[in-house]
Structure 1
Amino acid sequence: MLGAIGLDEIQESVYRALVAVGAAEVSDLAHRLALPEPDTERALRRLERSGLAAQSSSRVDRWVAALPAVALGALLTQQRHELEQAERAAALLAEEYRVDATDAAVHDLVEVVTGASAVAHRFFQLQLGATSEVCALVTGKPVAVSGMENEAEERAATRGVSYRVVVEREVLSLPSGIVELSAALSRDEQCRVVDRVPTKLVVADGTLAMVPLTGRGAAPAALVVHGSGLLDSLMGLFEAVWREAMPLRLGGGGRVEEESNGPDAADLEVLSLLLAGMTDASVAKQLDLGLRTVQRRVKGLMELTGVSTRLQLGWHAYERGWVAREPQL
């Protein structure tokens, strides 16, 4: 919680413990937190430099917590001031960039990023810089970064950035594929699946895109595309794949309200994966269910809709809004 003002986990724990007791000796705090005394003392010294703690005037080995409202308030005010200065500097740089870009050469509209570390860093940076929407096509065999596992995605979603993601079917068969997709859907991200995506792709706010540049066996490299006709084409590619992809509903995710006498969340998970092209056995494995349980749920859905084939079941699922290509309002 206090990492934003520069405190690590140990320093924050020590400060919280000191606030709780008001004043304490190093040995008492170390015992309370189950920390080595040297680590506790180092944390107190760091808190002292930040104005969050001070040594008692009566006893040198005793530490006193600074009043949180005053001490933290001062640090937060300083942090806000520094952020405002950084925002002004960023705005000036952006303005300078726009002026210089009016006559930009064609080669200025793309960047080539090479090396696994550099590609991964640029990938995270692109998402962290997004303000409204991130669109992505995800393959089952990432080269430098994982399509689903990244902290930047969670942080961007927390800031209110919306996600539209299309994964190829192979992702569903990965050991953690279903878990990660369920987590994404729980953050209100929209996820769909197709047999195969044409390329790995990430587009932030419709103004910046990133695509792989190297083929199989070569060192990881990527192309970062700025506003241009090429970027418009990449966004058009994403929208075309998105329209044809199958929506996923996992772990209670999705936006379709369940009917009182309709399928439950587990039924919809099974149905979603089957419509995505997975076999009964694959669905059972991914959802940690028995094969007969999956088949029994499918049979129950067919009886509920009054159909005799799975093809008819898929059609009725769309008609009833159990699986919809667009969110139901």
Structure 2
Amino acid sequence: MLEAIGLDDEHTALYRLVLQAPSSSIDELAESAAKPRSEVRAIVAELERLGLLARQASAPDRVVASPPSLALRPMLLDRERRLTQAHEVLVELSEIYRSGAAQRTAPDVVDVVLGADAVRQRFAQLQASATEQVRVLMLSDVAFLDATENTAEDEALRRGVRYRVIVEKAVLEWPGFIDAARESAPFGEEVRVLPTLPTRLIIADDDVAMLPMRSHGEERSSGALLVNPSGLLDLVIATFEEYWATSTEFISTGELPGAHDAVDRDLLKLLLLGLTDAAAGAQLGISVRTVQRRVAELMETAGVTTRLQLGAEAVRRAWV
């Protein structure tokens, strides 16, 4: 974990190998690391440049590790110094920004971001700047950034940032959505569902919100609006909270009888949210026939004869 001072996993792993031996040759390191000699030689050269390795005096073809306390400490102190300087500049620039923001006129409350690349960059920046929570409205056909490209969300979750995400029902039909939502839940991401939503939205803490310049039409991804601290931002946040209060919790914790609790619970949730048997089955990776069989078994367990009654009974028993 020395990325903070510029060492990636490969450099760190090789340094560890050299630390474990009195001295090492390129061939020995290549064999231990299961890497080509040319790649190991390049890493060794870089570690030498950084002062982490040195040539053995009696055998120049072998390398020895420099003591970590001597080799790494100057690098860490330099990085700390740079971070301190950067923090001081951040404080200064933030003060300048606040001074300017206090003089904003009504039109300055909203900034315009033009171009798909600029929108994606700002979307990532908002998540990277969040310290407490990120609130999101997610539509099925409007996205600032493809989910597979949104690495900033994973990094924010690892930092302990809470995510509250409301998706419209059609999003539940995306392949793998349930698995992704369930994997993110332990890291602080809550997902809820509403039948439809008016627009895409992201709010970083209580500091700034971003929404598409246009929610519909061919140009919906060509620009975005940034809403800065103001009464308008307060209204946007309040609107999200209203949606959150009326949305349906997606990841449930109620227990079901039988051997397939998680699948049955997810199936009930999807059907109650209005998905067809085919769509629910595709999301869960089971066939339509299996969906129908599981529903029949749940109806028998609940002692009901219709799906409508099953839905009511599932809610009453806290299965969903």
Please, what TM-score do these two structures have when normalized by structure 1?
A: 0.86
Aligned position for 1:327: none
- The answer to whether residue 311 in structure 2 is matched with residue 311 in structure 1 is no
The whole-number CA distance in structure 2 between the counterparts of 1:315 and 1:100 is: 55
Report the alpha carbon displacement of residue 116 of structure 1 after superposing the two structures with TM: 1.8
Give the one of 284, 290, 294 matched to 2:291.
Answer: 294
Report the alpha carbon displacement of residue 260 of structure 1 after superposing the two structures with TM: 7.0
AA aligned opposite 1:242: W
Aligned position for 2:78: 78
Give the one of 276, 280, 284 matched to 2:281.
Answer: 284
Map residues 6-25 of structure 1 onto 2, 5 A cutoff.
Answer: 6-25=6-25
Report the alpha carbon displacement of residue 45 of structure 1 after superposing the two structures with TM: 2.3
Alpha-carbon spacing, 1:299–1:210, altered in 2? closer, same or farther (3 Å): same
Aligned position for 2:182: 182
Which whole-Å deviations, capped at 9, do the CAs of 1:39-61 have from their partners, x for residues lacking one?
32221222123232122222222
For structure 2, the 5+ residue unaligned runs are: none
Which whole-Å deviations, capped at 9, do the CAs of 1:65-121 have from their partners, x for residues lacking one?
123344334433433333233223222222232223222223332221122221111
Give the one of 234, 240, 259 matched to 1:232.
Answer: 234
Report the alpha carbon displacement of residue 6 of structure 1 after superposing the two structures with TM: 0.6
- Larger mean CA deviation between 120-129 and 75-84 belongs to 75-84
Map residues 153-164 of structure 1 onto 2, 5 A cutoff.
Answer: 153-164=153-164
Report the alpha carbon displacement of residue 127 of structure 1 after superposing the two structures with TM: 0.6
SS of corresponding position for 2:60 = coil
Residue correspondences, number: 318
Map residues 124-163 of structure 1 onto 2, 5 A cutoff.
Answer: 124-147=124-147, 150-163=150-163
- Larger mean CA deviation between 172-181 and 283-292 belongs to 172-181
Report the alpha carbon displacement of residue 239 of structure 1 after superposing the two structures with TM: 2.0
SS of corresponding position for 1:62 = strand
Which whole-Å deviations, capped at 9, do the CAs of 1:268-298 have from their partners, x for residues lacking one?
1111111221112211121112323322332
Report the alpha carbon displacement of residue 212 of structure 1 after superposing the two structures with TM: 0.7
Contact 2:120 2:144 in 1 (8 A): yes
The whole-number CA distance in structure 2 between the counterparts of 1:44 and 1:68 is: 16
Contact 2:135 2:202 in 1 (8 A): yes
Alpha-carbon spacing, 1:125–1:273, altered in 2? closer, same or farther (3 Å): same
The whole-number CA distance in structure 1 between the counterparts of 2:292 and 2:213 is: 43
Aligned position for 2:172: 172
The whole-number CA distance in structure 1 between the counterparts of 2:91 and 2:319 is: 46
Report the alpha carbon displacement of residue 148 of structure 1 after superposing the two structures with TM: 6.8
The whole-number CA distance in structure 2 between the counterparts of 1:53 and 1:259 is: 59
The whole-number CA distance in structure 1 between the counterparts of 2:147 and 2:166 is: 10
Report the alpha carbon displacement of residue 320 of structure 1 after superposing the two structures with TM: 3.3
Aligned-CA RMSD value: 2.5
Contact 1:165 1:191 in 2 (8 A): yes
SS of corresponding position for 1:7 = coil
SS of corresponding position for 1:258 = coil
The whole-number CA distance in structure 2 between the counterparts of 1:31 and 1:109 is: 61
Contact 1:246 1:275 in 2 (8 A): no
The whole-number CA distance in structure 2 between the counterparts of 1:206 and 1:319 is: 36
- The answer to whether residue 263 in structure 2 is matched with residue 266 in structure 1 is yes
Contact 1:148 1:180 in 2 (8 A): no
Alpha-carbon spacing, 1:203–1:144, altered in 2? closer, same or farther (3 Å): closer
The whole-number CA distance in structure 2 between the counterparts of 1:73 and 1:295 is: 64
SS of corresponding position for 1:54 = strand
The whole-number CA distance in structure 2 between the counterparts of 1:80 and 1:271 is: 52
For structure 1, the 5+ residue unaligned runs are: 324-329
Contact 2:175 2:282 in 1 (8 A): no
Which whole-Å deviations, capped at 9, do the CAs of 1:233-286 have from their partners, x for residues lacking one?
22222223222322212xxxx4x2536789722211111111221112211121
- Larger mean CA deviation between 193-202 and 211-220 belongs to 211-220
